[in-house]
């Protein structure tokens, strides 16, 4: 009897996944980060036009910026939590949609409350874009190319705020202010479809995220999330509005400081004791991550202060328009775009602390050169100083970002990038708050110092005023009017010279702060050698 032999079913081989195309992934996720970085500064040059359109005072219109920044910092540390709950790619796409929708609505805003609300929505979307891109790039590029990945990320983060005022000034000068928001819509739509098409989450990371999400749902950390949002919102308001409200002379600022300190201390205690914390603060137990992130926040505070001072100097004292000052700053942007890929290739071959140390020297020397600026300063002097800063910024940002995340496991990358971005943002806000306050105080002190020498009985003062009065009378003014006008001109000159002295002091202070930061580079820990958590991840890309 013949035995029937069953023919086994021939199974089709599994279709292999397409190899990772890291450059398509990079291009896809960079759209959102670049737009968010540009929007952090592009609005500032259009505030006078927006203020007239929505009927707001000078003090009220600052909420258009404050609301955006508050929303951004509230979302950043929750990026890892949201990624586990809903998926990293879904979070990025949802936040990109929210950012684009907020941008479109901002362009349609008809009064101040609607503008602030829509800017807040825009900030909620922008908050997760930056850390999510950083995490995706870290997971996409192999260990030996992590410097390149952070160079690309650095260009988006650093170049965005640099070109924002230039782009905003051009749009405002040639079109309507609403187009600084509408321009995000087509770019955001393109970025959405590229991310949806090319970026796919790794199956292993997704499985790990699902397991942790189940734990999070069982022990939902509502208390931690609430304390975090309250603490960061009041902290950011304190930093953004403190100078305008004369700091602790204002009851509102005092209340914000108390609430912020209380909530953030309670938040830290809560996250270190929670079963499933929303924010993984235990990452700071890693000395590599802690040293890189904290030093990066400190350096970023000085960087943002330095970047803030020069445009104000050019517009307030040299008479540049927003567009002109933006174009004058382009050499720094071009140097950064040229240097960051080079520094990215050097990373891994040259110790990170060496690169950061050299960068600090360049940036500090550039700030010192700016301390010699005067009302007669020309473009060539400005270009030389900002070119030095461009080299310094590039050599600091890339290795600090790459080193801070160098020892983080793949499944914790979103948590780490969220905390890294948050501390960098807070560091920048602290630097801006300090330098804005000092600028106001130094200008008052300098004006009082100069005025003490303007005794009408001094020959130099009397001669200067007599010459000015004579010139005004030759242009048709009577003696009384010419005398009054010459006095007003003298007061105006004193105010301008006082501002020059104030800026010079701040530029010297910035240079000294770089000198103070330089020894701290010694504490920057190098990440472990390639391997372990640096194993090349598998974020899949469909072509």
Candidate from 122-136, 375-389, 455-469 with smallest mean pLDDT: 455-469
Asked if residue 511 is part of any domain, the answer here is: yes
Do residues 242 and 125 share a domain? no
Q: At what angle do helices 47-54 and 112-140 cross, to 10 degrees?
A: 140
- Cα distance between residue 217 and residue 252, in whole Å: 36
Does the pLDDT value for residue 275 go beyond 50? yes
Given this model, what pLDDT does residue 137 score? Answer: 80
Do residues 321 and 414 share a domain? yes
| Domain count within the chain | 3
pLDDT band, residue 15 (cuts 50/70/90)? very low
In whole numbers, what is the pLDDT of the chain averaged over residues?
80
Q: Which residues of 83-111 are buried (b: 16+ CB within 10 A; e: fewer)?
A: bbbebbbebbbebbebbbbbbbbbbebee
Does the pLDDT value for residue 320 go beyond 50? yes
Given this model, what pLDDT does residue 308 score? Answer: 73
Asked if residue 306 is part of any domain, the answer here is: yes
CATH of the domain at 359: 1.20.1250.20
Asked if residue 308 is part of any domain, the answer here is: yes
pLDDT band, residue 231 (cuts 50/70/90)? very high
- Cα distance between residue 274 and residue 540, in whole Å: 34
Candidate from 127-141, 179-193, 271-285, 506-520 with smallest mean pLDDT: 127-141
Does the pLDDT value for residue 257 go beyond 90? yes
pLDDT band, residue 197 (cuts 50/70/90)? confident
Do residues 251 and 342 share a domain? no
Do residues 368 and 311 share a domain? yes
Q: What is the pLDDT of residues 114-125, one digit of tens each?
A: 988 999 999 898
Q: What is the pLDDT of residues 150-180, one digit of tens each?
A: 777 777 777 777 677 777 777 877 788 888 8
Range of the domain at 286: 282-526
Pick from 207, 240, 275: which residue ends a domain? Answer: 275
Do residues 356 and 241 share a domain? no
Given this model, what pLDDT does residue 101 score? Answer: 94
Given this model, what pLDDT does residue 470 score? Answer: 67
Asked if residue 10 is part of any domain, the answer here is: no
Do residues 328 and 462 share a domain? yes
Mean predicted confidence (pLDDT) in 131-157: 76
Portion of the chain with pLDDT greater than 90, in percent: 10
pLDDT band, residue 533 (cuts 50/70/90)? very low
Query: Quick check: helix, strand or coil at residue 277?
Result: coil
Determine phi and psi for 350, rounding to 5 degrees: -115, 135
- Greater confidence (143 vs 29) lies with 29
Residue 120 token pair: 């807040």
Does the pLDDT value for residue 27 go beyond 70? yes
Identify the burial level of 15 via C-beta atoms within 10 angstroms of its C-beta, where 0-12 means exposed, 13-18 middle and 19 or more buried: exposed
Do residues 92 and 177 share a domain? yes
Does the pLDDT value for residue 135 go beyond 50? yes
Given this model, what pLDDT does residue 58 score? Answer: 65
Mean predicted confidence (pLDDT) in 193-218: 80
Asked if residue 65 is part of any domain, the answer here is: yes
Asked if residue 256 is part of any domain, the answer here is: yes
Do residues 299 and 253 share a domain? no
Q: What is the pLDDT of residues 324-358, one digit of tens each?
A: 776 777 788 788 888 888 888 888 788 888 998 99
Does the pLDDT value for residue 7 go beyond 60? no
Do residues 316 and 237 share a domain? no
């Amino acid at each position: 009897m013949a035995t029937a032999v069953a023919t086994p079913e021939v199974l089709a081989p599994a279709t292999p996944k397409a190899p990772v195309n890291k450059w398509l992934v990079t291009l896809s996720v960079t759209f959102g980060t670049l737009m968010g970085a540009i929007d952090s500064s592009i609005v500032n040059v259009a505030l006078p036009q927006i203020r007239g359109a929505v009927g707001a005072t000078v003090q009220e219109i600052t909420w258009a910026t404050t609301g955006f920044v508050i929303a951004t910092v509230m979302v950043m540390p929750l990026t890892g939590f949201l990624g586990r709950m809903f998926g990293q790619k879904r979070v990025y796409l949802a936040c990109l949609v929210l950012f684009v929708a907020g941008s479109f609505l901002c362009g349609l805003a008809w009064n101040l409350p609607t503008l602030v609300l829509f800017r807040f929505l825009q900030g909620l979307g922008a908050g997760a874009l930056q850390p999510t891109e950083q995490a995706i790039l870290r997971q996409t590029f192999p260990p030996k190319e992590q410097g390149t990945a952070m160079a690309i990320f650095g260009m988006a983060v650093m170049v965005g705020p640099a070109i924002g005022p230039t782009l905003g000034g051009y749009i405002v000068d040639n079109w309507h202010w609403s187009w600084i928001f509408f321009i995000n819509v087509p770019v955001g739509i393109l970025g959405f479809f590229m991310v949806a098409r090319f970026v796919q989450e790794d199956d292993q990371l997704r499985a790990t995220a699902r397991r942790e999400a189940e734990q999070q749902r069982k022990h939902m950390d509502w208390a931690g999330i609430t304390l975090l949002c309250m603490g960061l919102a009041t902290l950011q308001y304190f930093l953004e509005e403190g100078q305008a409200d004369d700091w602790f002379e204002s009851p509102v600022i005092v209340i914000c400081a108390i609430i912020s300190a209380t909530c953030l201390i309670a938040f830290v205690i809560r996250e270190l004791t929670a079963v499933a914390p929303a924010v993984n603060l235990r990452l700071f137990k890693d000395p590599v991550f802690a040293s890189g992130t904290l030093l990066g926040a400190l350096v970023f505070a000085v960087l943002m202060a330095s970047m803030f001072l020069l445009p104000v100097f050019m517009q307030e004292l040299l008479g540049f328009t927003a567009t002109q000052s933006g174009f004058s700053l382009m050499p720094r942007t071009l140097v950064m775009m040229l240097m960051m890929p080079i520094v990215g290739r050097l990373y891994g071959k040259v110790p990170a602390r060496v690169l950061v140390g050299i960068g600090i020297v360049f940036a500090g020397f550039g700030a010192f050169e700016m301390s010699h600026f005067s009302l007669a300063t020309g473009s060539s002097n400005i270009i030389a100083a900002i070119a030095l800063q461009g080299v310094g910024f590039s050599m600091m940002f890339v290795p600090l970002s790459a080193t801070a995340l160098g020892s983080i496991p793949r499944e914790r990358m979103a948590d780490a990038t969220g905390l890294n971005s948050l501390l960098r943002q807070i560091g920048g806000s602290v630097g801006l708050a300090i330098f804005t306050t000092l600028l106001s105080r130094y200008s008052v002190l300098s004006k009082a110092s100069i005025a003490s020498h303007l005794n009408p009985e001094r020959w130099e003062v009397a001669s200067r005023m007599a010459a000015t009065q004579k010139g005004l009378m030759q242009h048709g003014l009577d003696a009384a009017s010419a005398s009054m006008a010459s006095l007003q001109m003298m007061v105006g000159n004193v105010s301008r010279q006082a501002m020059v002295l104030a800026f010079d002091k701040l530029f010297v202070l910035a240079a000294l702060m770089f000198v103070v930061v330089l020894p701290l580079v010694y504490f920057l820990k190098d990440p472990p050698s390639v391997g372990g958590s640096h194993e090349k991840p598998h974020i899949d890309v469909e072509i």
